[in-house]
Structure 1
Amino acid sequence: MKPKSPKLIINKLVLVGRSKSYYVNFEIGINIIHGDSDTGKSSILNLIDYLLGSKKIYMYDEIEQHGKYAMLEVSLNDKVYTIKRDIFEPKENIEVYSTNIENINKVFPLEYSPDYDREGPAGYFSDFLLSSLNIPIIKVKQAPSKDNSPMVRLSFRDLFKYSYFNQDDVGSREILDRKNHTLVVKNKETFKFIHNVLDTQITELQNMIGEKNREIKELINKYKVISSFLLETKLSTEESLHAKKEELDGKINYLENEKNILTDKMKSDNEEMEELRIVVLEIEKRINKLLSKKSHKEAQLEQNLRLRKEYQIDINKIQTSLKVKNSISMQYNQIVECPLCNSKMETVEIKKHFVEHNEDILKKEVSSIKNRSKDLSKLIDELRDELLQIENKLLKEREQLNKAKSILDTKAEKFISPFITQRDLIISELSSFKEQVGKIEYFLKIRVQLGALKQKEELLKKQVSELQSKLDILKEQTPSIEETLNDLGAYLKEFLEYTPIKSAYGIRLSEKTFLPIVRERDYTDLTSGGLRTLVSLGYIISLLKNSLLKETNFPSLIMVDTVGKYLGKTKKNKDDIDESKENKKEGLDDPKKYINIYNYLQEFSSEFINIGNEHQIILVDNDFPEELEKNFSQYVVKRFSTEGKEGYEIGFINNATLNEI
């Protein structure tokens, strides 16, 4: 029997923009996004994370300039949903459609609150995700060692920390909030919950089964009430509504064709209509002026976004100078450790490369630039509002233009009397048929909603059955934290030996932190950034592997940003990479290690897919070795080049110019 760990699969990401939409399609198994820096690779993962409930999104300038809202088509335990969210208003409700992206106009959406600060019309988004994945919704102790500790919700976001490592997480000593004691405690409880070793797990499962049974009863009652109402109102069945709509669509197409034939025959050039033609021309002129103004405002918005980015770069440079000045005393010669590479340096040598500045002047300059940046942000918001106003004016002008042209057509008909009566009759019939189609489409949505209630009832019954099986297993053979850590440590060791690393001994997971130990040293004590990169990759891959082999609460998805962080990739460029002594000592400048990561993942993924254990691995990286480019092309879903290389897009926002990227 296959493990019943939850299954979260990303099908499609769509960013809807002002002039076009931007798509990324994903597949089961490995998905690779690679290319040059600043092309929007990381933004794709950020958007997915945001659409799965993250509080904010980190957008590069082109998304901020061109984007409006985003949609994510996901499969949650084989049920397809589309999630829609405004990218500029993270506090707004998140819309969820129980269908794929192409059919969202055929169903009513449910609105969920993005956080637990307030409840949305349909509840909380985190609860929706957990419930759809059949993961118990529980509370855990804020301080597990204290009997009177307050309880806090365990959200989907807590679980997803173990599924998504962004570019700041990979190889970082501060992985999984290591500096925040409160979050570290909660993360450990989350880890236990993921692997079904939380002390209260059996009780929580029983509570969840009871809650889902109550929800089933409510759905049955709701279904009966709505069915009874539809029966009393004699609303047609879904099949008959579709048949009626198909019949009406055929009549509409026929009448539209007849109307077009008549329109072609009706030609008029009467002097009485000249004044109306002038009105039409004036409206068109106003529209052209608005379009020109819109283009100008968009250019201003782009320039200001660039300037704000330059301000931030200046701030970072000055603040870095201040940090260096404060960290390194220039008065006396002493041996200090480099904050970047851990090598030893003499301050007398460092002083040769630095010009000392007045600290107060630098701080005032930072404050001044921040004020200018703040003013610029206000201006950017004003420009965005002005663009919205221009678009609204364009909409109204176009409506007026359509009305004026319609009146012009009507007046023209008066001079072609043989066709007037016939055309009016067609238009009247068309209007009647279209009105009927509109009503049918609304009734179909109601029928679909009723069917969705039945589907949800069946889904809940299936979930209850799965939860009961899980409960029975937990009662019979509750896994221990020691067994779980041993298994995960074995998977991590397998990965590190495959890569391989030097001296692959003393590899396990800490019983205290649940983080890796390598060569009997805690993960945070590993001095090589490259080694930490490999260990963090092995850690997240081990979590996925464990979920595919056992009953867990870990979604079958991992996302990793910048796989090759600190690692050598290509022999021809290795001399250009400024690596630390520790990385060189570990032999991590060898491109084979980087290639072996992908070879391991390919073997790992293929093995589980072949036995029916579906999962998803989404990887982002910068430059890609030729060997991987050739052998892993079937897994590449997006590749970007700022140079406009053939077969590459210039960026995620692919209608921008090369200079914009």
Structure 2
Amino acid sequence: MKTRLRLLRLIISGTTYKRTLDIDESLIIIKGDGFSGKSLVLNLIDYCLGGKQEAIDLSVQMELAEYCDEVFLELRAGNKIYTVNRSLKVNRNIINIYLCKFDEYHEYSPWKKKVEEANEFFAEQFQIPLHSILRKRPGSNDFNQEKISFRDFMRFVFIRQGELGTNQFLQNNNTFVSGKNKEVFKIINDLVITDLEEINKEIQIKQNEHNKLDKINNGLEEYLSNRESENLNKLITVRDEYSENIDTLNKNKKELLNRNKNDNSRVFSNLKNDIKEIDEIIFDKNENIRILDFSIRNKEILLQDYFNEREKLEATLEAIKKIKISEHSERCPLCHTVVEVKQENCETNEDIEKALNQIQDKIETLQNLIKVDSKKIVIERSDTSKISEKRKIYVTALNEYKKNMDTPYLSEVESINSLIKDITEERNKINSFIDIHHEIDNNASKIVRLSGQLETLNKKKNELLKLQKREDDILSALNKKYRKLMLRFNFTSIQQDKCYISKDNYLPYYNGISVLKHTSGCLLLCMQIAYLGAILELNIEEENNCHPALLMLDTVSNNIGTNTDSTDSIDPETYGELFKYLVETSKDNQVFIIDNTPPKVIEPNKEFIFRRVNDGESLCGLIDMSKNEIKPEDK
């Protein structure tokens, strides 16, 4: 089952500046002057979705560097809301992902993921079935496995300024990534046919995961039931009441401390708490040392037993090896007759050698364990020594404050602190129950997703032979849509052998020439919009196609011009029709259009206008001080 993406808000933030772009519309038009930040909006969205660090060059984006430290993107994928956060200046390889709205992200713990991990996470959450392909190594007949990534998928979502209307469409100039475009096209249009064995294997893995999550949720629900914490709304209400009580107590404590002119009481209380925490740490470490020491003594006793046993076995083996097997004999206990031992029955020495090897393995294992425990003791004692030195300093400071301390409100402060501690502990318990509810909900969402994936896999399994015919049907449907759009854009050579999407590379052709070879910006733009439009239209009709119904175009008229005097200009009628089609496409997809002078749009849309200004004038682009949400009194 496909997952549609809907971008809701883009927030750029710093210590003195914050701006929120509410983009929760199907059609978003960004227009204005050059160098005002229009393209930067799409680049920041792409940056949040795992784009390369180099996409945001702060040495070029000087205003962004001066006022902003991080960027947030709130989006909806299916029925789930995510807030994605990425720093613009530090730890730029880390992406924080919150399962909540932006307004609530402070209340949740994020998934902290490196960019590569985040891209895998996005693919999984957005239900994009990525996989690996085999590609030849350069200059070799050997093959390497290369994984199709979420970034490869984004080339069919975000068409950059240097690609739109040029023969660098889908980053054709980068052979390393463009070689994966064919496979991405197949993934989007559900043309990847996995053999039966692989389908069965995937069904088994997903069914096991489904069962595991189901079992975990049953256990968590039983846990909540035993503690009468099944009602999430009630838990949230109780938690909020505790939070209000804590806020009130903190306010009272603050007022009490402000009445006391002598700060020594607060320092005294903090020092006592610090010493108490240090004593608890020292106690825990001494307990660890005691346990480790006891463990070592037990291991040494067992080790000595193994040494004794090894010594006996070695002595026995040495004695046996000094006597010929033919001379081995035993005396009958009844008649005292000497009984000869036949050679084929004498395997005693081999058994003893086997036992010796086993004993030696046990000895080495114990010795290694003793070394590990001994090392832990050394570390713990070293830490205890350092912490004890710290405690001496705190005790000395405490004694100094005791000499001349005027603390008329100390008992009241300690009473309030005690109440705050008790209520905080109760609130933490409630929060743990709420976290369990969230985990159950998250697992339930995964179970639903897995059920959908299992249903799809079983359907594919049952229709494997039918799927082999699917490619012809899909290309036929895409070509009809592609040719219809090219005709709509006033290109009349739409015969099947001249205007088509190739079965060899899945790229659009016109007059039998690839989109990667044409040079006319007007023709290239129309081919590319018709190609992407055909994919989006079919995505609506086909249940298993997985384009996220999101399209970002930067900048539509950049490489074609709209001036009839230009040799490569697009006539106004064609340009208007092309723009009209993009507006129509936004009814079923979220479409971002950056253009300097777009036609007027009557349909509902979200419009942003950025202006470049001269030196000394107020900023009016993406960084616009009149839009700053941080007021002077908040700084």
Tell me the TM-score range normalised by the shorter chain. Answer: 0.5 to 0.7
After TM superposition, give the deviation of residue 516 of structure 1 in Å.
1.5
> Is 1:549 paired with 2:538?
no
Would you say the 8 A contact 2:160–2:553 is kept in 1? yes
Letter in structure 1 aligned against 2:56:
Y
Would you say the 8 A contact 1:639–1:649 is kept in 2? no
Letter in structure 2 aligned against 1:94:
I
Q: Structure 1 residues 200, 452: CA separation in 2 closer, same or farther (over 3 Å shift)?
A: closer
After TM superposition, give the deviation of residue 231 of structure 1 in Å.
7.0
After TM superposition, give the deviation of residue 490 of structure 1 in Å.
2.2
Would you say the 8 A contact 1:563–1:621 is kept in 2? yes
Unaligned runs of 5+ in 2: 264-404, 629-635
Give the one of 612, 616, 620 matched to 1:650: 620
> Is 1:598 paired with 2:561?
no
Give the one of 595, 602, 607 matched to 1:621: 595
Q: Which residue number in structure 2 is paired with residue 72 of structure 1?
A: 73
Greater displacement, 38-47 / 486-495: 486-495
Letter in structure 1 aligned against 2:438:
V
1:108-123 matches, within 5 Å, as 108-115=109-116
CA distance in 2, matches of 1:483, 1:563: 31
Letter in structure 1 aligned against 2:478:
L
Q: Structure 1 residues 476, 557: CA separation in 2 closer, same or farther (over 3 Å shift)?
A: same
After TM superposition, give the deviation of residue 227 of structure 1 in Å.
5.4
Q: Which residue number in structure 1 is paired with residue 213 of structure 2?
A: 219
Q: Which residue number in structure 2 is paired with residue 339 of structure 1?
A: none
1:38-77 matches, within 5 Å, as 38-56=35-53, 57-59=55-57, 60-77=61-78
After TM superposition, give the deviation of residue 40 of structure 1 in Å.
1.5
Residue deviations 1:585-639, cap 9 Å, x none? xxx1x33332222211233443x4xxxxxx32122122334x34xx25x312422
Q: Which residue number in structure 2 is paired with residue 294 of structure 1?
A: none
Q: Which residue number in structure 1 is paired with residue 510 of structure 2?
A: 518
Residue deviations 1:181-212, cap 9 Å, x none? 45443222222232222343766554443332
> Is 1:18 paired with 2:12?
no
Give the one of 161, 165, 169 matched to 2:163: 169
CA distance in 1, matches of 2:466, 2:492: 41
Would you say the 8 A contact 1:136–1:204 is kept in 2? no
Q: Structure 1 residues 192, 256: CA separation in 2 closer, same or farther (over 3 Å shift)?
A: closer
Q: Which residue number in structure 1 is paired with residue 483 of structure 2?
A: 493
After TM superposition, give the deviation of residue 165 of structure 1 in Å.
0.7
CA distance in 2, matches of 1:77, 1:206: 27
Unaligned runs of 5+ in 1: 116-123, 274-410, 609-614
Q: Which residue number in structure 1 is paired with residue 83 of structure 2?
A: 82
Greater displacement, 40-49 / 96-105: 96-105
After TM superposition, give the deviation of residue 168 of structure 1 in Å.
0.8
CA distance in 1, matches of 2:610, 2:490: 30
Q: Structure 1 residues 192, 261: CA separation in 2 closer, same or farther (over 3 Å shift)?
A: closer
After TM superposition, give the deviation of residue 232 of structure 1 in Å.
7.6
After TM superposition, give the deviation of residue 510 of structure 1 in Å.
2.4
1:498-513 matches, within 5 Å, as 498-501=488-491, 506-513=498-505
Would you say the 8 A contact 1:560–1:620 is kept in 2? yes
Of structures 1 and 2, the larger Rg is shown by 2
How many residue pairs align between the two structures? 477
Give the one of 600, 610, 623 matched to 1:640: 610
Q: Which residue number in structure 1 is paired with residue 144 of structure 2?
A: 150
> Is 1:440 paired with 2:422?
no
Would you say the 8 A contact 1:557–1:616 is kept in 2? yes
- Identity level (%): 23
Would you say the 8 A contact 1:39–1:651 is kept in 2? yes
Would you say the 8 A contact 1:31–1:619 is kept in 2? yes
After TM superposition, give the deviation of residue 169 of structure 1 in Å.
0.8
Q: Structure 1 residues 525, 250: CA separation in 2 closer, same or farther (over 3 Å shift)?
A: closer
Q: Which residue number in structure 2 is paired with residue 242 of structure 1?
A: 236
Q: Which residue number in structure 2 is paired with residue 481 of structure 1?
A: 471
Letter in structure 1 aligned against 2:573:
K
> Is 1:454 paired with 2:447?
no
> Aligned to 2:552, what secondary structure does the other structure show?
strand
After TM superposition, give the deviation of residue 162 of structure 1 in Å.
1.6
Would you say the 8 A contact 2:166–2:525 is kept in 1? yes
CA distance in 1, matches of 2:84, 2:459: 30
Would you say the 8 A contact 2:19–2:627 is kept in 1? no
Letter in structure 1 aligned against 2:212:
E
> Aligned to 1:167, what secondary structure does the other structure show?
coil
After TM superposition, give the deviation of residue 143 of structure 1 in Å.
4.7
CA distance in 1, matches of 2:86, 2:109: 15
CA distance in 2, matches of 1:483, 1:593: 30
Would you say the 8 A contact 2:165–2:560 is kept in 1? no
CA distance in 2, matches of 1:160, 1:137: 12
After TM superposition, give the deviation of residue 492 of structure 1 in Å.
2.2
CA distance in 2, matches of 1:623, 1:152: 42
After TM superposition, give the deviation of residue 427 of structure 1 in Å.
7.2
After TM superposition, give the deviation of residue 562 of structure 1 in Å.
0.3
Give the one of 115, 132, 144 matched to 1:139: 132
Q: Structure 1 residues 443, 477: CA separation in 2 closer, same or farther (over 3 Å shift)?
A: closer
Q: Structure 1 residues 477, 92: CA separation in 2 closer, same or farther (over 3 Å shift)?
A: closer
Would you say the 8 A contact 1:30–1:602 is kept in 2? yes
CA distance in 2, matches of 1:254, 1:85: 34
After TM superposition, give the deviation of residue 453 of structure 1 in Å.
2.5
Q: Structure 1 residues 459, 484: CA separation in 2 closer, same or farther (over 3 Å shift)?
A: closer
After TM superposition, give the deviation of residue 560 of structure 1 in Å.
0.9
Would you say the 8 A contact 1:8–1:555 is kept in 2? yes
Would you say the 8 A contact 1:24–1:637 is kept in 2? no
> Aligned to 2:490, what secondary structure does the other structure show?
coil
